[in-house]
Structure 1
């Protein structure tokens, strides 16, 4: 669906949402107008006094009469009171009927759709089960804009209680992914419980946005292979990941504790991919780490540099930067931003490493 088609659909939805209120507002406007005309004819007041008298009568504020009313004016007042009560009764009945018909749920969904139209660089999370909830909690801690797609009403209530923007729709549909802002998001996470559903989501997302970063959950090696063939950038098996964490706890507890501590802090590890074009590295090419003073000027720490198949751990001051290298850097968000600014055009892409 094109942007123009979505705008037309949004306008139609707005008209449908406004339609139930046309009757009560029209009736209220008619009472106000007819009442003002009645006072104008019976009392001869100017239009301002007429409208003021109608408003304080309908609202039962009771400021008092503008002037002493004639018998005809009192009759007009009685008719206004009766008409106002009828309009209020009709409005109450309409509100109750709309609530039973799910109107306010549709109104909330429309508000969310309008909000999503202006959202950029967010993450789309398909599925809010146990794994999805953990993913959402981590993204919330990092203050990453997030949109959750979920069909289960109970999980929907939990997501809304946690302050998440939610679409109650089928994530395997192209229209749902477009409504969630797939064309403008930074990544999509398929965390549905079924491999077939995740495969369908990845296929749809890759076709709609070939440049989007796609992360998928897989319950088996066969499913992981198919998800990669379908276009998933990263495939994660909860069972394999859990087994690796348990093994790391037994063999390398200090390293695991460090990563857990890192996940709960303001620090991150980011990968800075340097451009392969030598022209982009004119300011830094051939200069050593000591000459550039990246650590001192930014506060970030270069943990390692990958140059082709070679990994340089804890690079010294004599290490020189070259096109195509990958810099693995630890620091807070402000420090990493300063590090990026120092590299300038030499940076081709940046990825945040998962802890």
Structure 2
């Protein structure tokens, strides 16, 4: 198998392992809380009970963080790779400290996942892109929690129940989220005024955060209703086939690819064709296939191949040139409408050029003389050989 194929498979294994570790971390944490009396492993006698209980509670939290990292890995984010490499030793250590029979698979899987992530590092090279609203939401949440925690601790004389910085953080969180259990209350005028400021700023920061999170979700619902691909769907494309342009010659190619179960996305600036394709649940991005930005949006660098097969050899050549200039390692397969254009498409950068008219003529001529083998080959011919890296 070629190196890009190895990296792609290793990357998928890394995502699966990360999700498995996340699920085990949450499950083991919950089981440890339900069955706190369990004790197992070489460190069971030396680990303090308080440390084991803490690891059980924090294990579930770490598991949820791992889920976020796994989703980031699926999008190829380098930041998610770093966070996973940090969290895997944490989950392994928590499993050891929990000292329960349930934690053994967690420790083993965490240890196994670490080298797989290390080998697949090159697969996760996408930079994280945060919108202004998401950055504002994150800064607001962190800022309010820091403001409330520091302020509550500084004014702890006005909060009789606040004895540690953790108590101050707890009070800030329940106040900012409007939960307000009532177990910590301000006892002085100054503390009450400060609590009001935490309440106002906290509710505002949570509102900003909800807007930043729910906005993309609503966008996804609207995009689904309108038959459009969302940004997250585009970013998750991997090992797919990019079909550059759409024409009469493209239709049987789409049928062949879908019958083979290959993930694909059509890149066309024809709104009418895009609408018809969406009705058949074909992934479409309405954009110019010869535009570099359009190719970036459909993750052409992660594509298995690019297929340029419309009825316009000139446009196909332009699309091929754009792909080859920006992504020289991506395999490009082209179909030549005119036989004399085969050499031109190869010079444009196509790895494989197929002339349907010439191939069809040869099969017809052989079949006319009773060549049954030619008839069977004509029925079975497809794109698999053209898309194969070793073809």
Please, what TM-score do these two structures have when normalized by structure 2? 0.45
Please, what TM-score do these two structures have when normalized by structure 1? 0.49
Choose 1 or 2 for highest CA Rg. 1
Report which of the two has the higher share of helix.
2
